Amino acid sequence: MISLTLREIATIVNGRLAPTAPRDATVGGSVETDSRLVTPGSIFFAMPGGEADGHDYIPQAIANGAALVIAARAADAAVPVIVVGDGVAALADLARAVVARVRARGTLRVVAVTGSNGKTTTKNMLRAILGAQGRTVAPEASFNNHVGAPISMLRVDESTRYLIVEMGASHTGEIAHLVSIARPDIGIVLAVGRAHVGEFGGIDVIARAKAEMVVELPETATAILNSDDRRVAGMAGQTAAGVRWFGRGEGSGLRAWNVVSTLAGTAFDLVIDGRIVAVRLRIVGQHHAMNALAALSAAQVLGIDTDEAVAALEAMPRAERWRMELLRSPAGAVIINDAYNASPESASAALHALVAVRPAGSRSVAVLGEMTELGASADEEHAAIGALVNRLGIHRLVVVGERAKGIHSAVTATDGWAGTADFVPTADAAFGLLEAELGPDDVVLVKSSKSANLRFLGDRLAGIAQ
**DSSP string computed for 311-365:** HHHHT---SBTTBSEEEE-TTS-EEEEE-S---HHHHHHHHHHHHHHPPTT-EEE
Average pLDDT over residues 168-194: 94
Phi/psi region, residue 234 (left: phi>0; alpha: psi -120 to 50; beta: rest), is alpha
Q: Does 426 show up as a binding residue in the annotation?
A: no
Q: Looking at residue 124, what is its pLDDT? A: 96
pLDDT per residue over 394-423, tens digit each? Answer: 999 999 999 999 999 999 987 788 899 999
pLDDT per residue over 153-162, tens digit each? Answer: 999 999 999 9
Average pLDDT over residues 258-265: 96
Q: Does 116 show up as a binding residue in the annotation?
A: yes
Strand partners, 277: 270
User: Whose CA is closest to 454, among 325, 292, 263?
Assistant: 325
**Above 90 in pLDDT, residue 265?**
yes
Average pLDDT over residues 324-343: 95
Q: Which residues lie below 8 Å from residue 334, measured CB to CB, with a gap of 6+?
A: 263, 326, 327, 328, 442, 443, 444
Q: Looking at residue 385, what is its pLDDT? A: 97
pLDDT per residue over 9-39, tens digit each? Answer: 999 999 999 888 999 999 999 999 999 999 9
CATH class entry, domain 90-314: alpha beta
Q: Does 120 show up as a binding residue in the annotation?
A: yes
Q: Does 375 show up as a binding residue in the annotation?
A: no
How much is the mean pLDDT over the chain?
94
Q: Looking at residue 466, what is its pLDDT? A: 64
3-state DSSP assignment of residue 276? strand
pLDDT per residue over 84-121, tens digit each? Answer: 999 999 999 999 999 999 999 888 999 999 999 999 99
Q: Which residues lie below 8 Å from residue 100, measured CB to CB, with a gap of 6+?
A: 183
If one compares 414 and 206, the residue with the highest pLDDT of the two is: 206
Q: Does 249 show up as a binding residue in the annotation?
A: no
**Distances from the Cα of 208 to the Cα of 48, 65, 176, 189, 234, angstroms:** 30, 43, 11, 12, 10
**90-314 with 325-461: one CATH topology?**
no
* Residue spans per domain, the chain: 4-85, 90-314, 325-461
Q: Starting from the edge strand earliest in sequence, which strands make up the sheet with 242-247, in order?
A: 136-137, 162-166, 109-114, 186-189, 222-226, 242-247, 254-262, 265-272, 275-281
Q: Rounded CA gap, 404 and 370, in Å?
A: 4
**Above 80 in pLDDT, residue 180?**
yes
Model pTM score: 0.93
Q: Is the dihedral of CA 169, 143, 224, 194 positive or negative?
A: negative
CA angle 258, 259, 261 (to 5 degrees): 135
Average pLDDT over residues 54-60: 95
CATH number belonging to the domain at 325-461, selected among 3.40.50.1820, 3.40.50.620, 3.90.190.20, 3.60.15.10: 3.90.190.20
Q: Rounded CA gap, 398 and 421, in Å?
A: 6
Q: Is the dihedral of CA 376, 379, 383, 386 positive or negative?
A: positive
**Above 70 in pLDDT, residue 196?**
no
Q: Rounded CA gap, 18 and 409, in Å?
A: 63
Q: Which residues lie below 8 Å from residue 251, measured CB to CB, with a gap of 6+?
A: 227, 245
Q: Rounded CA gap, 461 and 333, in Å?
A: 9
Q: Does 115 show up as a binding residue in the annotation?
A: yes
Q: Does 118 show up as a binding residue in the annotation?
A: yes
**Above 90 in pLDDT, residue 232?**
yes
**Above 80 in pLDDT, residue 201?**
no
Q: Looking at residue 105, what is its pLDDT? A: 87
Amino acid, single-letter form, for residue 347: A
Q: Looking at residue 223, what is its pLDDT? A: 98
- CATH 1.10.3720.10 holds for 4-85: no
**Distances from the Cα of 253 to the Cα of 47, 114, 226, angstroms:** 44, 19, 10
**Cβ(410)–Cβ(387) below 8 Å:** yes
Amino acid, single-letter form, for residue 198: G
Average pLDDT over residues 168-184: 94
pLDDT per residue over 278-310, tens digit each? Answer: 999 999 999 999 999 999 999 999 999 999 999
Q: Looking at residue 143, what is its pLDDT? A: 81
Beta strand pairing status for 334-338 and 325-328?
antiparallel
